[in-house]
A and B are shown apart, each in its own frame.
Chain A
Amino acid sequence: MKKIIIFLLYVSLNFTNVKALIKVDITRGNLDPLPIAISPLHVDKNSEKLDIIDTDKLGNEISKIIESNAKSTGLFNPLNKDAFVQKPDIAHLKPRFEDWRLIKAQALVTGKLLIKDNKLKVEFRLWDLTAAKEMLALSFTTTPANWRRVAHIISDKVYERLTGEGGYFDTRIIYVSETGPKDQRVKKLALMDQDGYNIKYLTLGNELVLTPRFNPTNQLVTYMSYFKNMPRVYLLDIETGIQEIVGNFPGMTFAPRFSPDGQKIIMSFAKEGNSDIYSMDLKSRIVEQITKHPSIDTSPTYSPDGKYIAFNSDRSGLQQIYVMRSDGTGVKRITHGKGIYGTPVWSPRGDLIAFTKVRKGRFYIGVMRSDGTGERLLTENFYQEAPSWSPNGRVLIFYRETKADKTGKGFSAKLWSIDITGYNERKVKTETDASDPSWSSLLSK
């Protein structure tokens, strides 16, 4: 895959640091989403034609992606463009605030674009309509092929300005694409933009692949493959397509994850009926055994500072979540509730651990503080597991399977997302059935 570089040349245009009146609170479920008008971007008449998309429609397409992103947060209510009262180019210069207020908009996004010398130049502004002030103005240049990313970057900037939190739209999801009947599934590694576009399949489906996870720079993926019927953890460079087995273990390795600095892969190694947690340093290739216990220890995850590891173990009899120092000392059980707990994943903010809980035959995705207190169950279903965090630590993506009838029909696996408020549960668009999602960090930081 070609390396995508976005040149972000932020130029402040008449930027005044006005303390805005509008502010979106994302710390609780938002039942009153902010009405926002997202104007089509004005397309400069001197723009060159493109093969990939009709240049005249590009401004409108970009605004539709921003709308869709804004809507998906549950925090914004993008208004119908039919009601818009000003032409894009005029609004972008300076909106007639009172006219936009008339259609009940509180915020407005305007912009313009020019394609020249095979470069896409974009400029946009965010307006606070209530205070009649400009809140944000940025411009940047990229290659036209990145036009969808332009929309995601604008979405991130608008989200960041209005919520005070980091965005998560210019991101990708790596997951396992599933096709075929339940007892003969074909699984492939797949990569897509956060909104389901630009899908790329990274394996052909000849062997079973599971649990892909990004490294912090989103260039490498670690996953498990049954290549040659040897279940092992692999490392894949998604730009070069080069892959290799991680370590030289005489048995199954599984449940891999990168350390926060990207230097190590942590995983389980199963030997003679016992699974323990190991790490391997990618440069020195030095392997370290971290847990040593005759129980199943798996699904390890580092804290964002790399000092701790959470994992699940059945050393108490049933699966529970434990935290230890990253050298394996100081193991402490943190879940004590009724039911079994698995797949801990540390939030990128470090404050919370997301998990799967099974109780009385029902599956829950939940979050708790890293000491196990403050458990909150966000969603309940027949089967769902494997949460992964959005880079801002506000949204979880996971997969959900439906019940099959006696012949195996009715089975499906889909990706879903939910805010950690417990609100805004959504199915994530995928071309095929899907499982084991892993969210990238922001592509442009």
Chain B
Amino acid sequence: MKFNLALRNLLIVLFGALVLSACSTAKKGDLTGDVYTGTETIEYLAKGVPDRVFFATNKSSLTTAARDTLRKQATWLRKNKDLTVTVEGHADERGTREYNLALGERRANAAKDYLMTYGISGKRISVISYGKEKPVNPASNPLAWSQNRRSVTVKTN
């Protein structure tokens, strides 16, 4: 078992290295696969509680880092019982507009569902999708697109 896990981790590292070396335009270390792992655009809901998580192209599955961030948000929401939030889902500019609206909605709900599994009532979380309409980084390159594929948790009260 231990050996298997170690081998799998090694493979993941190797795979990550291969993908990274293929992305010459993005800042090295800020992308794993095509998921943004940097901190440039992130704002904080509270000390140590990042407001956003990032997604791979056309995907809405949560990465390990995304789950980590959402657990921090859940802890923060548990401590602040009166707060309500909106999760905004976004897509990059490399898809058709209508599909991206649906994709943004799916991403926002992936984040919402995860917060709910950590005990946050769905009543406290609304979702909205902006598709590709509100890029945080207006550039047309892989780094900008990775920063735009995101869900952002915003305080609503």
| Residues of A participating in the B interface, judged by any CB pair closer than 8 Å | 181-183, 185, 208, 210-211, 224, 229, 231, 251-252, 254-255, 268, 270, 272-275, 296, 298-299, 312, 314, 318-319, 342-343, 356, 358, 361, 382-383, 385-386, 401, 403-408, 411, 435-436
Contact segment of B15-23, B73-81, B138-146 = B138-146
Chain A residues, Cβ within 8 Å of B94: 358, 361, 383
B51 at the interface (CB under 8 A from A): no
Assess the A407–B97 pair: CB atoms within 8 A: no
Contact segment of B2-10, B42-50, B62-70, B105-113 = B105-113
Assess the A298–B99 pair: CB atoms within 8 A: yes
Chain B residues, Cβ within 8 Å of A314: 58, 99
Assess the A211–B103 pair: CB atoms within 8 A: no
Assess the A231–B97 pair: CB atoms within 8 A: no
Chain A residues, Cβ within 8 Å of B133: 185, 208, 210
Assess the A270–B138 pair: CB atoms within 8 A: no
Assess the A401–B134 pair: CB atoms within 8 A: no
B101 at the interface (CB under 8 A from A): yes
| Residues of B participating in the A interface, judged by any CB pair closer than 8 Å | 58, 60, 93-99, 101-103, 105-106, 108-110, 113, 128-130, 133-141
Shortest Cβ distance from B40 into chain A, in angstroms? 12
Assess the B101–A255 pair: CB atoms within 8 A: yes
Q: Once the chains are docked, how many angstroms separate the CA of A383 from the CA of B132?
A: 13
When A208-B133, A210-B133, A273-B113 are in contact, do A342 and B96 touch as well, CB less than 8 Å?
yes
Assess the A405–B139 pair: CB atoms within 8 A: yes
Assess the A274–B106 pair: CB atoms within 8 A: yes
**10 more A-B residue pairs beyond the given contacts A255-B98, A342-B96, with a C-beta to C-beta distance below 8 A:** A210-B97, A231-B129, A252-B128, A252-B129, A275-B106, A296-B99, A296-B102, A318-B58, A361-B94, A407-B138
Q: Once the chains are docked, how many angstroms separate the CA of A183 from the CA of B139?
A: 9
Shortest Cβ distance from B105 into chain A, in angstroms? 4
